[in-house]
Structure 1
Amino acid sequence: MSTSTIPPSTDRNLYPDDDGNPMAENSLQFKWIVLVKEGLETVFRDDPNVFVAGDLLWYAQEGDPKIRTAPDAMVVFGRPKGYRGSYMQWEEGGIPPHVVFEILSPGNRGSEMARKFRFYDNRGVEEYYVYDPEDGSLSGWRREGSGRLEEIADMQGYVSPRLGIRFEPGNGPDNLKIYGPDGTLFNTYQEIRAEADAANQRADAERQRADAERQRADTELQRAERLAARLRELGESLD
């Protein structure tokens, strides 16, 4: 499937693509940012009108570049896939990200997370999820009848209304499991390769077993044919 490039029409000097902050503070946080983002890309790979991004600056209001944030992962429905240096909402039909994810690190301060929550709450995000891989805690909020983000009481087995993915928090750090709508587990590339290698090994073993079975059957057939030929030589009836 091809992707397109969204041509910028806004002054990039006023709205830079880089805020100077690192994507992640440690390897564990980076692992989960990539895992969530790539898992979501895979879920919506066949839908050209679902845009998924990781660590992309979201400028919410034209004329005020300070009104911005960079979710660790975000999903926008009704917007085409394709390259963007940043997500400028006024150039995207006014559509805000519908779902955002934040992956915590030791450097995340309570005040910073409170600011992000207010930003997402005020800017129309429908679902907001925060995962701390250091202690395994997962929190979620959904926009409910009040028109505001309200905390989800229990995330164990919770299925995102927008994404169709299921969360299964574990009982320890780095232990969250996320399943796609088809039941496929979100995995790292390394884990996917390991599973593929294991599947190939099983297939090779099955082929070897089948080959051995065919060879055994051929051997038995040849033995039977030799026995039949010997009996004919001895004038014995095969009936």
Structure 2
Amino acid sequence: MVQQLTPDTAALVIYPESDGQPMADNTEQFQWIVKIKENLEILFALQDNVFVAGNLLWYAVQGDVKVRQAPDAMVVFGRPKGKRGSYKQWEEDNIPPQVVFEILSPGNKTKDMANKLLFYQRHGVEEYYIYDPQTNELTGLLREQDNLEVIEEINNWVSPRLEIRFELTPNTLEIFSPSGRRFLTSVELDQIREHERQRAEHERQRAEHEHQRAEQERQEKEAAQLQLEEERQRYQDLLARLQERGIDL
């Protein structure tokens, strides 16, 4: 007999905010998770109705704490940004994450990955991307009706939802935003910010130098005009004195 949850009993269910598993098994996996999640945050920073999260537990069915997954990164269109301890789908207008990412590590088991695929397929994910940094292999799956089907040609694939482009080089995966900007690590982003800061400072110093030079030229011009006026006045005074003595020039 299946016990039906009433609103009162459903409210008593506790949904843990952690599954007890580490976010990543190694530094490379962690770096990739952070890189993808943070760049997606940047990409959709100005869109209030796009929620991006990393390693957040997603509960798909109210009252059943076992029906859950924690994608390494996920994007939900149609939901506001904000803090969440977990993503309870029934509290989010029943909107599932449309795009999810998983970064593989040696600790990933085939059974676990199969369960993830079945979960994402069953609960409405539209795009599912799996990247293995060790082998530099990217797998993409796209929803076709009720199933997630493998994308046959993933190199240079453009995500229908995110509009980002995946490019597999001989050594790594590069991801590009719709504007063509490459997804960067936090260190690379900081280096760019520092470069821009130094460039701005250089431009400020150059502008200040130009201002000082222009001011010096203005002062020199005014001094020359003043000197010319003084010379003209002395000449007029001399003419006046000569005329007083009856000497006309």
Query: Which of the five TM-score ranges fits, normalised by the shorter chain?
Result: 0.7 to 0.9
State the Cα deviation string for residues 94-117 of structure 1 (Å, max 9, x = none): 211111000111101122111111
RMSD: 2.7
What code does the residue aligned with 1:196 have?
A: R
1:195 is matched with 192
Where structure 2 has 5 or more consecutive residues not aligned to the other structure, the ranges are 1-9, 232-249
Indicate the structure with greater helix content.
2
Matched, 1:75 2:75: yes
1:140 is matched with 140
State the Cα deviation string for residues 129-177 of structure 1 (Å, max 9, x = none): 0111222211101112x431111112222111111111112211xx222
CA distance 1:210–1:99, change in 2 (3 Å): same
What code does the residue aligned with 1:140 have?
A: G
Question: Aligned partners of 1:150, 1:194: CA distance in 2, in Å?
Answer: 39
What code does the residue aligned with 1:188 have?
A: T
2:169 is matched with 170
Shift in Å at residue 224 of structure 1?
10
CA distance 1:90–1:219, change in 2 (3 Å): closer
Where structure 1 has 5 or more consecutive residues not aligned to the other structure, the ranges are 1-8, 234-239
State the Cα deviation string for residues 35-59 of structure 1 (Å, max 9, x = none): 1111111111122211111111111
2:108 is matched with 108
Question: Aligned partners of 2:209, 2:85: CA distance in 1, in Å?
Answer: 57
1:157 is matched with 156
1:184 is matched with 181
Shift in Å at residue 124 of structure 1?
1.1
1:11-26 maps to which residues of 2 (within 5 A)?
11=12, 13=14, 15-26=15-26
Question: Aligned partners of 1:187, 1:75: CA distance in 2, in Å?
Answer: 18
What code does the residue aligned with 1:197 have?
A: E
1:5 is matched with none
Question: Aligned partners of 1:36, 1:12: CA distance in 2, in Å?
Answer: 32
Shift in Å at residue 227 of structure 1?
11
Question: Aligned partners of 2:79, 2:224: CA distance in 1, in Å?
Answer: 74
Question: Aligned partners of 1:93, 1:219: CA distance in 2, in Å?
Answer: 67
Task: Please say if residues 100 and 125 of structure 2, whose CA atoms lie closer than 8 Å, have aligned partners that are also in contact.
Answer: yes
Task: Please say if residues 142 and 151 of structure 2, whose CA atoms lie closer than 8 Å, have aligned partners that are also in contact.
Answer: yes
What code does the residue aligned with 2:195 have?
A: A
Matched, 1:42 2:39: no
Question: Aligned partners of 1:78, 1:210: CA distance in 2, in Å?
Answer: 46
What code does the residue aligned with 1:181 have?
A: P
Shift in Å at residue 202 of structure 1?
3.1
Bigger relative contact order, structure 1 or 2, given CA contacts below 8 A and separation 6+? Answer: 1
Matched, 1:64 2:64: yes
19-28 vs 147-156, which moves further? 147-156
Question: Helix, strand or coil for the counterpart of 1:102?
Answer: strand
Aligned length: 224
Shift in Å at residue 220 of structure 1?
8.8
Question: Aligned partners of 1:78, 1:40: CA distance in 2, in Å?
Answer: 15
Question: Aligned partners of 2:168, 2:77: CA distance in 1, in Å?
Answer: 26
Question: Aligned partners of 2:128, 2:59: CA distance in 1, in Å?
Answer: 18
Question: Helix, strand or coil for the counterpart of 1:75?
Answer: strand
Question: Helix, strand or coil for the counterpart of 1:81?
Answer: coil
1:96 is matched with 96
Question: Aligned partners of 2:215, 2:76: CA distance in 1, in Å?
Answer: 60
What code does the residue aligned with 1:180 have?
A: S
Shift in Å at residue 209 of structure 1?
5.3
State the Cα deviation string for residues 71-119 of structure 1 (Å, max 9, x = none): 0111111112111111111222221111100011110112211111111
